């Protein structure tokens, strides 16, 4: 074998039926391909320890049940053992998401006649619809049956009473687990154009939700999550209609989504922020509280540690002062700024819809994807998917170094390294190979 043939063989990343070499799977790809096994294995081990070793149940029980229940009041309070429940909930959500996408939603999408890439997108959006519609309905039920239903000033009437119902505690911890799981997912799976915006949003929201949970701001958390979650299942619903080629229904759904987004995230949400600014301390006086009662009118018992005292022990006092008020407001305003950035993108899509009559998803892959034609690979070639009306061009597998075999939810596809579309100019084979990923075409 000469050097040129050996170099060509080493650069082949796509396997063929006759046993060609394949690219080694990275750790990130391994995690993506084994989300179900990893999550269920860890949960099964914890469950086995819980059932087989009764002496360990005080340590394993917080993974499966809500902690800190008070039989006298029938209420729950918060504490450090809630971390274990959040951990197991994040694992369960990871497994349920992967099972729903790979075993249920994607096969159903393929049966409807859509292509592989579209079926993956439909499955991903279908999971968003499933989760957010359920959790939003739960949050709306809690809000509707509360004393602060569309009365934002009444939110502060029960603070700093820390006890809460079991449903409220489960709801807040599952929402926190979902945010943590989302941070994991956006880092191991295929990156999108708004990766950093989504990462910032999840970090800010999870930090805000955790702090509000510790400080007992359950009511505010409930309202904020309800206002945020409603649009998170309307947009995926519109996307599914688009992938299924129901364009008119997609446009109507997108219009409903856009109107709801503006009302909930830029009208009602800002009303809530204004209420916090105006009614604290008018409705809730500044001071130091303990066991649900004000113990001192001094809102600054020490220089710094009062901020973290509730995180260490439930018996520690909880303070409300201008510093804490504006820290929480700063987090809420940060989320609002991100929403403004996204709404700007939404307006662009709306303009495109009006101009062309077709709504487009602005949150697409960071790189264009070229799919493999199974019939072509059987003949030793890779057929790159057509883009923008350009006919696909077969490329020989053995002469296409740089093609990267990549799995997404169990499917195999070929991606071109680098951004931009692949030019299909057969008159310049070197340029073609260079653009699809070969740094030094031979």
Q: Which residue has the tokens 């805000």?
A: 208
The pLDDT-based confidence of 253 (bands split at 50, 70, 90) is: very high
Give 409-440 pLDDT, tens digit per residue.
Answer: 444 343 443 433 334 444 444 443 344 333 34
Give 178-217 pLDDT, tens digit per residue.
Answer: 999 999 999 988 888 888 889 999 999 999 999 999 999 9
Which of 4-18, 74-88, 301-315, 365-379 has maximum average pLDDT? 74-88
Average pLDDT over residues 107-111: 94
Q: How far apart are CA 110 and CA 106, in angstroms?
A: 6
Edge-first strand listing for the sheet containing 318-320: 293-296, 287-290, 318-320
Task: Please give the full DSSP string across 94-117, using - where no structure is assigned.
Answer: HHHHHHIIIIIIHHHHHHTT--HH
Cβ–Cβ < 8 Å for 64, 50: yes
Alpha helices in 244-314 (DSSP H): 247-263, 269-282, 309-312
- Check pLDDT > 50 for residue 368: no
Q: How far is CA 10 from CA 4, 79, 83, 265, in A?
A: 10, 55, 47, 52
Give 286-301 pLDDT, tens digit per residue.
Answer: 999 988 788 999 999 9
Q: How far apart are CA 99 and CA 106, in angstroms?
A: 10
User: What pLDDT does 20 receive?
Assistant: 53
Give 300-340 pLDDT, tens digit per residue.
Answer: 998 888 999 988 887 889 999 999 999 999 999 999 999 99
Cβ–Cβ < 8 Å for 31, 39: no
Provide the 8-state DSSP code for 439. Answer: S
Give 71-108 pLDDT, tens digit per residue.
Answer: 999 999 999 999 999 999 999 999 999 999 999 999 99
- Provide CB contacts within 8 A for 369, sequence distance 6+: 117, 385, 413, 415
Average pLDDT over residues 117-123: 93
pTM: 0.78
Alpha helices in 65-194 (DSSP H): 82-99, 106-111, 116-144, 166-188
Q: How many residues belong to the chain? A: 442
Q: How far apart are CA 420 and CA 426, in angstroms?
A: 18
Q: Which residue has the tokens 């916090």?
A: 276
Give 206-250 pLDDT, tens digit per residue.
Answer: 999 999 999 999 999 999 999 999 999 999 999 999 999 998 999
Average pLDDT over residues 35-42: 96
User: 369 pairs with which residues across the strands?
Assistant: 415
Question: Which secondary structure element, helix H or strand E, spans residue 14, and what is its range?
Answer: none
């Amino acid at each position: 074998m000469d050097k040129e043939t050996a170099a060509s063989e080493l650069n082949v990343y796509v396997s063929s039926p006759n046993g060609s070499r394949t690219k080694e799977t990275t750790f990130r790809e391994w995690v993506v391909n084994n989300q179900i096994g990893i999550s269920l294995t860890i949960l099964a081990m914890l469950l086995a320890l819980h059932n087989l070793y009764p002496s360990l149940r005080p340590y394993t029980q917080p993974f499966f049940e809500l902690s800190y229940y008070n039989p006298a009041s029938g209420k729950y309070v918060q504490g450090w053992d809630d971390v274990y429940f959040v951990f197991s909930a994040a694992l369960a959500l990871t497994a349920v998401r992967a099972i729903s996408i790979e075993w249920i939603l994607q096969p159903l999408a393929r049966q409807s006649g859509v292509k592989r890439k579209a079926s993956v997108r439909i499955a991903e959006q279908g999971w968003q619809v499933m989760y957010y519609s359920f959790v939003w309905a739960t949050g709306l039920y809690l809000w509707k049956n509360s004393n602060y239903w569309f009365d934002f000033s009444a939110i502060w009437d029960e603070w700093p009473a820390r006890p809460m119902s079991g449903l409220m505690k489960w709801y807040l911890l599952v929402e926190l687990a979902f945010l943590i799981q989302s941070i994991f997912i956006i880092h191991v799976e295929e990156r999108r154009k708004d990766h950093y915006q989504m990462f910032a949003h999840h970090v800010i929201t999870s930090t805000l939700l955790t702090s509000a949970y510790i400080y007992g701001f359950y009511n505010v958390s409930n309202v904020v999550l309800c206002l945020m979650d409603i649009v998170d299942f309307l947009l995926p619903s519109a996307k599914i209609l688009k992938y299924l080629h129901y364009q008119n229904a997609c446009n109507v759904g997108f219009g409903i989504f856009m109107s709801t987004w503006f009302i909930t995230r830029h009208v009602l949400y800002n009303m809530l922020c204004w209420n916090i600014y105006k009614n604290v301390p008018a409705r809730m006086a500044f001071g130091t509280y303990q066991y649900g009662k004000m113990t001192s009118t001094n809102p600054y018992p020490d220089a710094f540690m009062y901020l973290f005292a509730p995180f260490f022990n439930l018996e520690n006092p909880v303070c409300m002062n201008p510093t804490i008020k504006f820290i929480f407001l700063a987090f809420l305003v940060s989320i609002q700024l991100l929403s403004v950035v996204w709404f700007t993108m939404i307006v662009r899509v709306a303009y495109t819809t009006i101009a062309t009559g077709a709504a487009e998803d602005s949150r697409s892959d960071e790189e264009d994807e070229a799919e493999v034609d199974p019939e072509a690979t059987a003949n030793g070639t890779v057929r790159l998917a057509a883009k923008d009306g350009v006919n696909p061009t077969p490329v020989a597998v053995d002469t296409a170094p740089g093609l990267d075999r990549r799995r997404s939810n169990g499917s195999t596809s070929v991606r071109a390294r680098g951004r931009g579309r692949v030019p299909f100019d057969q008159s310049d084979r070197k340029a073609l190979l260079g653009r699809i990923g070969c740094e030094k075409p031979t």
